[in-house]
């Protein structure tokens, strides 16, 4: 029979089962799976006997070494026949298994996200032994010795080494000091069995907890431009994602009620640029010049304001207010985290009778509260026809001393005059 005719008949029979539209020029042999050939392993190449024969004198003992020299990923079962001249034959079962050293890590780049400077941060590296044999892992840490606690650094790896059995999963606890200067990036080496060292990268941000008030701060405009550039440079995509994660856990409720007037809200606030607040940069520079300040926070649970630092003043300007009337200013308070905070009046703060202040309660990271400041001038307190009024009050949040300044012009009404 013609070979080409036979090929054509086979194609006509098989082609409908594969695809109705076929290209006659297509090499049809590629449509069929290749039959994997099973290569027979010569047991004599895997197992060696040393010695495989010999002569024993009466009462003599001799050891026969069975050497297993496996190929990759095989299981063997062999029968070793031993014969003694003039005696019975003995059969010995020999089994063995070989496996590649295989592992699985949950990540080689661990994100610590945003952490408060005053407490150690920890994350876990998950490691699984997916091989058929046990192996040992070891960690190698070569962190520099810093003179102070400004920079983020790896404190401990727990446990530093361990033997993993097949299908066992282990947790390596990584403990870090986040530092205070913002972004940190550290690396340690992981050794698994005989494999080359694996670099594990750790990154995140060590910060001072921050709250933001939607009020004007005119003094910000007089800061050195370098402060603003430093703040903006910190707004990397990964940092913004970490900030967004804080706020995604708690919905932010804005004060849109028609009964509550938000006076003098910073227009940049609604554009999102408030997160590059220069206050944090000012505080970092303040602490860099006095690194010994951090010692008190690392050795105790102290959460008071950083000594010697206060924010640029928030300003509330009521404008002209008629005596015996009431004007209220409501500002949003946003906790940027990474820890919960609660506002309270600083020590020695005196609030005059004609000014009332209402603070929100505890704010978790990403939550929003409000500050109500009510100015109620009376004709008894302000006897002049027109009188300029300026006062200030101080609040404290976690590690931060906040300064507020209020100003107004109290006028008596023409009827009262």
DSSP assignments along 268-304, one per residue: GGGGTGGGG-HHHHHHHHHHHH-GGGGHHHHSS---S
Which one has a higher pLDDT value, 352 or 278?
352
Q: What is the pLDDT of residue 18?
A: 64
Q: Identify whether residues 290 and 384 lie together within a single domain.
A: yes
Domain boundary among 172, 207, 242: 207
| Domain that residue 66 falls in | 43-97
Q: How far apart are CA 167 and CA 313, in angstroms?
A: 59
Q: Does 128 have pLDDT greater than 90?
A: yes
Q: Identify whether residues 185 and 248 lie together within a single domain.
A: no
pTM across the whole model: 0.72
| 233-247, 288-302, 335-349, range with greatest mean pLDDT | 335-349
Q: Identify whether residues 124 and 85 lie together within a single domain.
A: no
Spell out the residues 6+ positions from residue 207 whose beta carbon is closer than 8 angstroms to its own: 114, 115, 116, 117, 178, 180, 182, 280, 338
Can you tell me the mean pLDDT for 184-210?
A: 94
Q: Read off the pLDDT band of 260 (50, 70, 90).
A: very low
Q: Identify whether residues 231 and 368 lie together within a single domain.
A: yes
Can you tell me the mean pLDDT for 238-266?
A: 61
Q: Identify whether residues 180 and 251 lie together within a single domain.
A: no
Q: What is the pLDDT of residues 30-89, one digit of tens each?
A: 555 555 556 677 888 888 989 888 888 888 998 989 998 888 778 888 888 888 887 888
Q: Identify whether residues 86 and 110 lie together within a single domain.
A: no
Q: Identify whether residues 267 and 342 lie together within a single domain.
A: yes
Q: Read off the pLDDT band of 272 (50, 70, 90).
A: low
Are 201 and 137 a contacting pair, CB within 8 Å? no
Instruction: Please state whether beta strands 400-411 and 386-397 pair in parallel, antiparallel, or not at all (unpaired).
Output: antiparallel
Q: Identify whether residues 230 and 349 lie together within a single domain.
A: yes
| Residue 203 CB burial class (10 angstroms; 0-12, 13-18, ≥19) | middle
Q: Identify whether residues 307 and 399 lie together within a single domain.
A: yes
Strand order of the sheet with strand 211-213? 211-213, 327-335, 368-375, 355-358
Residue 281 within a domain: yes
| Residue 102 CB burial class (10 angstroms; 0-12, 13-18, ≥19) | middle
Q: Identify whether residues 189 and 242 lie together within a single domain.
A: no
Q: Read off the pLDDT band of 415 (50, 70, 90).
A: very low
Q: What is the pLDDT of residue 320?
A: 87
Spell out the residues 6+ positions from residue 126 whose beta carbon is closer than 8 angstroms to its own: 105, 106, 169, 170, 171, 172
Q: How far apart are CA 392 and CA 242, in angstroms?
A: 35
Domain boundary among 156, 186, 207: 207
Q: Identify whether residues 267 and 403 lie together within a single domain.
A: yes
């Amino acid at each position: 029979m013609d070979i080409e005719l036979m090929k054509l008949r086979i194609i006509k029979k098989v082609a409908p089962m594969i695809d109705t539209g076929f290209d006659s020029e297509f090499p049809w042999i590629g449509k069929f799976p290749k039959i994997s050939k099973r290569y027979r392993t010569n047991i004599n190449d895997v197992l060696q006997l040393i010695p495989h024969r010999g002569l024993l004198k009466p009462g003599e003992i001799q050891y026969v070494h069975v050497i297993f020299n496996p190929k990759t990923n095989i299981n063997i079962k062999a029968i070793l026949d031993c014969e003694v001249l003039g005696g019975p034959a003995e059969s010995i079962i020999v089994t063995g298994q070989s496996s590649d050293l295989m592992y699985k890590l949950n990540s080689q780049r661990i994100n610590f996200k945003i952490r408060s400077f005053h407490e150690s941060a920890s994350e876990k590296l998950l490691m699984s032994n997916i091989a058929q044999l046990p192996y040992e892992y070891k960690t190698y840490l070569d962190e520099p010795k810093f003179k102070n606690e400004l920079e983020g650094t790896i404190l401990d790896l727990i446990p530093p080494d361990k033997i993993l059995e097949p299908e066992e999963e282990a947790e390596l606890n990584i403990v870090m000091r986040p530092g205070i200067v913002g972004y940190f990036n550290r690396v340690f080496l992981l050794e698994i069995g005989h494999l080359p060292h694996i670099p594990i990268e750790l990154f995140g941000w060590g910060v001072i907890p921050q709250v933001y008030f939607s009020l004007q701060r005119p003094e910000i405009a007089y800061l050195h431009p370098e402060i603003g550039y430093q703040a903006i440079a910190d707004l990397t995509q990964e940092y913004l994602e970490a900030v967004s994660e804080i706020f995604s856990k708690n919905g932010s409720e804005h004060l849109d009620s028609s009964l509550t007037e938000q006076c003098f809200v910073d227009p940049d606030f609604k554009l999102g640029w408030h997160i590059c607040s220069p206050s944090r940069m000012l505080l970092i520079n303040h602490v860099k010049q006095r690194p010994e300040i951090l010692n008190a926070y690392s050795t105790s649970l102290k959460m008071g304001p950083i000594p010697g630092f206060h924010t640029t003043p928030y300003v509330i300007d009521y404008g002209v207010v008629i005596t015996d009337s009431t004007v209220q200013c409501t500002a949003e308070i946003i906790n940027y985290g990474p820890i919960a905070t609660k506002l309270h009046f600083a020590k020695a703060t005196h609030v005059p009778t004609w000014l009332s202040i209402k603070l929100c309660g505890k704010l978790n990271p990403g939550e929003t509260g409000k500050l109500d400041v009510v100015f109620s001038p009376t004709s008894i307190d302000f006897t002049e026809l027109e009188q300029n009024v300026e006062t200030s009050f101080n609040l404290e949040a976690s590690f931060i001393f906040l300064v507020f300044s209020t100003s107004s012009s109290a006028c008596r009404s023409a009827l009262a005059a």
